[in-house]
Amino acid sequence: MRAVIIIFPGSNRERDVCAALALVTGREPVRVWHRDTAMPESDLIVLPGGFAYGDYLRCGAMAAHSPVMSEVRERAAKGTPVLGICNGFQILAEARMLPGALLPNRSLRFTCRDVHLCVENNQTIFTCGYEVGQTIRVPVAHHDGNYTAESDTLDRLEDRGLVAFRYCGPDGELSEAGNFNGSARAIAGIFNDSRTVLGLMPHLENAVDPLLGGTDGRAFFEGLVGALQ
Amino acid sequence: MKGGSNVTPALAAEHGLTEEEFDRTVGILGHVPNMTELGIFSAMWSEHCSYKSSKVWLKTLPTTGPRVICGPGENAGVIDIGDGEAVVFKIESHNHPSFIEPYQGAATGVGGILRDVFTMGARPIAILDSLHFGSPDHARTRHLVAGVVSGIGGYGNCVGVPTVGGECEFHPCYDGNILVNAMCVGIVRTDRIFYSAAAGPGNPVIYVGAKTGRDGIHGATMASAEFGADAGEKRPTVQVGDPFTEKLLIEACLELMEGDAIVAIQDMGAAGLTSSSVEMAGKGGLGIELDLDRVPLRETGMSAYEIMLSESQERMLMILRPGGEAEARRIFAKWELDFAVIGRVTETGRLVLRMNGDIAADIPVEPLVTAAPVYQRPWLRRHPEPEIDPASIPDRDPLDCLRRLMASPTLASKRWIWEQYDHLVMANTVKRPGGDAAVVRVSATGKALALATDCTPRYCRADPVRGGAQAVAESWRNLTAVGAEPLALTDNMNFGNPERPEIMGEFAGAIEGMREACLALDYPVVSGNVSLYNETNGSAILPTPVIGGVGLVANVQNVVDLALKRDGDALILIGETSGHLGCSLYLREIESSEAGPPPPIDLAAERRNGDFVRRVIRAGHAVACHDLSDGGLFAAVAEMAMTGGRGVVLDPIPSDLPSNAYLFGEDQARYIVETADPDTVLELARAAGVPAHVIGAVSGVALTLSGAGAISVEALRAANEAWLPDYMAQA
């Protein structure tokens, strides 16, 4: 499985996702600088977390217009899976590759902590390592993760099974407290229509090593790599 | 040079130079300095840059050891951790700017300390922050806490370096003068360490990073004076941070450092282009010529004076090898950063600045650096506080006292703060904030670093010598409690006005205590920062020598934390308990008294007990460990219980001590270890001559104290977690 990690100026969690993929595949992903004209062929494109362009205009807004994004869009249209994590999700939303937008957290504060997620759909290359309804504990680290979209967009996401993960309590229950950032319908991650593009706020890549406090993210990468091999 | 100078002694005084210091500048130059020269002298000879009041004392600290690669004097200290790797670290204050403009002040504090570390070739891997705020009841405190915390987070989160630890204290002495000390730790290959001494006459001097603006002009001078009522008017001297540019600068510098283009490199921190160019030339024993017309500027019409004293952030000065320019230019263009050749190294030993076809300044470097004044300031030692008579302290319900202590500002959970910091990015955080020390894995090896910051200012006020020794000992103990071998420390000396003998006495005393502890514990000082004049309207802060400690864990699988793990395990108290309540948190929070001397420090016992605890952890006999400090034994047990979500049944209190003295006394050199094998641990302790005995067992979901009742761990945790968020939520 060949993965390409796109590096924008200000990306800062590329190491984390590279380490997670390397752990599962035994192979270091290729890092591509956003101005590199030739992106190697790959089985997976990852937009990592960070603060691309400092997130100065709006999170992900400037990176969405980086030259590399038209290539990402074309590859995605041809079926190459694209995974956007945190800032990567914000970029995919700004690039209109996924619907909706990420607003500041309800608390208006950056929040770094473990949260619980409920797996909503496992019939995808990304989530096939999980059971539907499974509760996992993984970290978040963001200021703008409050997912929002118009209600008919939200209805459409739900009807078509495009919600990947929802924030929940430790026992999988949906609650105000579990939905810590105030996201619409507690949405933590969504797919595009073909379920080959996933954007999510939590850092599953920071939950693959027992030494670092949890391994609930590992099944995500194992499932994904298995599906792509 | 054009015409005569109109600089007068009065103008020099406004720049913080005394009449004697001004005369000295005239002697060095052979004429009255012009404005630019005056600005340069005033910055270089400010307390902040010259350490003129503290130098004679700092020199007495131990700074060497078998692992020390580089001690104080460079951008940061460097310690060998084996396998061709070294740890680079330093702590630095941004107190005055953070009081004036908390968000930017704290943010640029983080930016500055990051640069000190990556300037030496190291990739920053962790940030810690030691924060001291005024009374929670003070009108400005909430605003300052909110601003400082979001400033630290805003910067650290964006550059992608985890903020893994630190401390946060409240005391009315900081009402008008908060402390924001930031520590950065990085990793470097030992054959890739970069220094700042200029070399090679003719080599180009390169400016990289952000453009120069009018922000922060004379920040170093501001940091060298007391605040008056006009503190708010100094807002324009606070710099504005841009973490995005810093992130690019880190990546560009580290990329360039993989090659051999760089001869020397120095970040532009306090006093900006002035201190960086003067220090590089001074260390190399050479001269530097700068063409100020080539400095990338953000604003038009800036004078030589403004360019030289600007503290615009995210800028570096480098000296390249001949022919290294093309490679450097390519890398900085890739990262879209400014890059300009602004001068060259010379053999003249002079700093020569050209602008608009004129010479704007011409100063011999050597006297500018070495003739800076050094003061033996008069100092007075404080009378020791009389001992407290234990019988004078009323009996109180220990469980109620514990609940109050755990919900006090000092012991209350600081989760509200550290959850605003990305403490996980880089995927190496083994032990997160909230424990004795954070533990960060050093990639690709089984090694890890333990990191902590410590100080107990109330001890330092009551007895500066003991307080200084205790700060070092507690730092050493915190690293030991996770199983690490303490390597070295960085110190941030925060004090009041050194021109007052009682303040200078606090400084001298703290250094004396630190020195004794560093020697006894083989724990050298390899970098640091001095922040004096922490006073507002003549009222000084408590002496606050913050110790940033770094320890090494050979095998990361062996680290422990303080969370209780298993019902039935025994808790063993290591160390001697005499019930010392003088100067304790208990007295302050429960009896509203700060009286009494701090606990005595027995450095031999400290060493013996700590070495023993480390051995027990490494042998796998301890599944949890916690050092005893604020709040004594009972607070430590409560913290272990809350973190592990388990209860404890404590054995009856020894009859020879008043119960609250036993429970809350702050005797030093003590730890609690949780073990499934108490017999082995006690036997090992006997053999090592270390006092140790079982004090209770892990059991259930409550803290139970025979004769006093029980309190549920969940109730304690609720009180402990609630204080800070509740406080911050009040309008």
Catalytic residue among A86, A94, A118, A143: A86
Q: Is the pLDDT of residue B108 over 90?
A: yes
Q: Is the pLDDT of residue B228 over 80?
A: no
Q: How far is CA A108 from the centre of its chain?
A: 21
> Is the minimum CB–CB distance between A56 and chain B shorter than 8 Å?
yes
Strands B485-494 and B525-531, by their bridges, are parallel
- Residues of B annotated catalytic, as ranges: 48, 94
Q: Is the pLDDT of residue B382 over 90?
A: no
Q: Tell me which chain A residue has its CA closest to the CA of residue B146.
A: A109
Contact: B424, A212; criterion CB under 8 Å:
yes
pLDDT at B372 (0 to 100): 85
Contact: A9, B336; criterion CB under 8 Å:
yes
Put residue B29 in one of left, alpha, beta given phi > 0 → left and psi -120 to 50 → alpha.
alpha
Calculate mean pLDDT across residues B181-197.
97
Chain A partners of B245 at a C-beta cutoff of 8 Å? 54
Place of tokens 């009065």: B10
Separation CA B543–CA B462 (nearest Å): 10
Instruction: Say which of B244, B334, B556 has its CB closest to residue A10.
Output: B244
Provide the strand spans (E) within B34-178.
Answer: 68-70, 77-82, 85-93, 123-133, 163-170
Separation CA B660–CA B654 (nearest Å): 11
Contact B650, B696 (CB under 8 A): yes
Calculate mean pLDDT across residues B90-118.
96
Contact: B334, A209; criterion CB under 8 Å:
no
Separation CA B509–CA B460 (nearest Å): 9
Indicate the pLDDT class of residue A60, thresholds 50, 70 and 90. very high
Q: Is the pLDDT of residue B232 over 60?
A: no
> Is the minimum CB–CB distance between A213 and chain B shorter than 8 Å?
yes
> Is the minimum CB–CB distance between A67 and chain B shorter than 8 Å?
no
Contact: A19, B427; criterion CB under 8 Å:
yes
- Tell me the pLDDT tens digit for each residue of A7-47: 999 999 999 999 999 999 999 999 999 988 789 999 999 99
- Tell me the pLDDT tens digit for each residue of B287-304: 999 999 999 999 999 999
pLDDT at B389 (0 to 100): 85
Cα angle, residue B647 at apex, residues B642 and B648 outer, rounded to 5°: 115
Q: Is the pLDDT of residue B441 over 80?
A: yes
Separation CA A15–CA A5 (nearest Å): 10
Contact: B425, A54; criterion CB under 8 Å:
no
Separation CA A222–CA A205 (nearest Å): 11
Q: At B313, phi and psi to the nearest 5? A: -90, 170
pLDDT at B221 (0 to 100): 61
> Is the minimum CB–CB distance between A111 and chain B shorter than 8 Å?
yes
Q: Active site includes A131?
A: no
- Count of alpha carbons within 13 angstroms of residue B223, beta-carbon side: 34
Separation CA B529–CA B538 (nearest Å): 22
Q: Is the pLDDT of residue B218 over 80?
A: no
Beta-carbon contacts of A57 under 8 Å, excluding residues fewer than 6 positions away, are none
pLDDT at B48 (0 to 100): 86
pLDDT at A109 (0 to 100): 97
Calculate mean pLDDT across residues B465-473.
98
Q: Any idea what DSSP says for residue A15?
A: H
pLDDT at B229 (0 to 100): 55
Contact: A12, B425; criterion CB under 8 Å:
yes
Separation CA B360–CA A217 (nearest Å): 61
Chain B partners of A21 at a C-beta cutoff of 8 Å? none
Two tokens at B479? 């690293």
Contact: B154, A50; criterion CB under 8 Å:
no
Q: Is the pLDDT of residue B2 over 50?
A: no
Minimum mean pLDDT range among A156-160, B187-191, B270-274? B270-274
Indicate the pLDDT class of residue B224, thresholds 50, 70 and 90. low
Return mean pLDDT, chain B: 94
Contact: A212, B427; criterion CB under 8 Å:
yes
pLDDT at B348 (0 to 100): 96
- Tell me the pLDDT tens digit for each residue of A101-134: 999 999 999 999 999 999 999 999 999 999 999 9
pLDDT at B647 (0 to 100): 98
Residues of chain B contacting A, Cβ within 8 Å? 150, 153-154, 157-160, 242-245, 247-248, 334-336, 418-430, 432, 441, 556-557
> Is the minimum CB–CB distance between A109 and chain B shorter than 8 Å?
yes
ipTM of this predicted structure: 0.97
Contact: A51, B247; criterion CB under 8 Å:
yes
pLDDT at B216 (0 to 100): 74
Q: Is the pLDDT of residue B222 over 90?
A: no
Minimum mean pLDDT range among B430-444, B543-557, B600-614, B710-724? B430-444
Write the DSSP string, B370-430.
HSS--------PPPPPPPPPGGGSPP--HHHHHHHHHTSTTTS--HHHHTTS--STTS-EE
Q: What is the pTM of this model?
A: 0.96
- Count of alpha carbons within 13 angstroms of residue B424, beta-carbon side: 26
Minimum mean pLDDT range among B1-15, B132-146, B308-322, B617-631? B1-15
Chain B partners of A63 at a C-beta cutoff of 8 Å? none
Q: Name the nearest CA neighbour of B57 among B496, B508, B381.
A: B508
Q: Is the pLDDT of residue B214 over 90?
A: no
pLDDT at B239 (0 to 100): 81
> Is the minimum CB–CB distance between A139 and chain B shorter than 8 Å?
yes
The alpha carbon of residue B153 is apart from the nearest alpha carbon of chain A, in Å, by 8
